[in-house]
Structure 1
Amino acid sequence: MSTCINCVWEEFSVPLKRFIKKRVANEQDADDIFQEIYLKIHKNIGSVMNEDKLHAWIYRVARNTITDYYRRNQYKFEITDLTEDLESSTDEEISANNEIASCLKVMVDSLPETYKQAILLTEFQNMTQKELSEKLGISISGGKSRVQRARKMLKEMLLGCCQLEIDRRGNIIDYKHKNSECKYC
């Protein structure tokens, strides 16, 4: 195939950049991914046999690169976030988290048995949803549905009971009871 890499890049760079930015929140990560995609396209464009499939191939490379980037960096983010959380946590935040955790335990215990089992196995015993489905003898989509419904029920219970203050990373930093007669806390 005699595709000019500069011609391809001129045609696809702006829409590709938009595509990446829709899927990646951090501007620096988006730039890194953009560069990585460019290198992959430059290196492998000769493997595309049919020019009609060039568009699909480029976006497949982009999707895979985004996925790979986050897989590769997931562990680093978790450790960094944990370290930052531990360093920035005050005694009040730790206390609030402990109190919310004890409320969540009561909430989980109050779920219908099928949903309680799904949450306990996936969230507290780190079982995958596929493993959950196999253990319960249900389809994978059935297992996923149970977990999602259980999470939704827990969220509704928690938000019905407490008003939460959440930091930019989604961590609970403070809470207030909405009423004093909450049956969970």
Structure 2
Amino acid sequence: MSTTSIWNNFRTELFAFIITKVNDKEIANDILQDVFVKIHLKAGSLKQEEKLTSWVYQLTRNTIIDYYRKKNILTYTEEFQDIWDDDSESEDENKICVNCINPFIQQLPPNDRDALEQTVYGNISQKDYAEKTGLSYTATKSRIQRARGKLKDMFLNCCLAEEGKKCNC
């Protein structure tokens, strides 16, 4: 399938998807353009055309994540990306759940929170963080993994404790 036909089939749908994640039309248009540049450049890597929709949405989600990383804004994290896939029941529920993550990060112990914020959302490498804090690289990796695990547990316990439960954290 050509980039032009993908554009014609997906642009409106993807724009609507992106706008629910960034809440800004100009930014959504920029991200949409970035997505289609990636589609054009990577179209040859798609082996099975029947997986086109999921592939396009995966590229879109990754591009949104890249936008937030560059802007150092935490409102969407790949740690929970599988929760907000194409099969999601409601975009409104997704927005609500995304809003839970920041308060959960604030509940982490200070050392875990600092490690997570600086390495995952602050664009500092784990190795540099280890040197900066005087921790070993292994201890730094463990601290970040532990923080992610705690964050995931808080999210799952609050937002997904029961099937069908609406997130109201």
The two structures have a TM-score, normalised by structure 1, of: 0.44
Larger radius of gyration: 1
- Structure ranking higher in strand proportion: 1
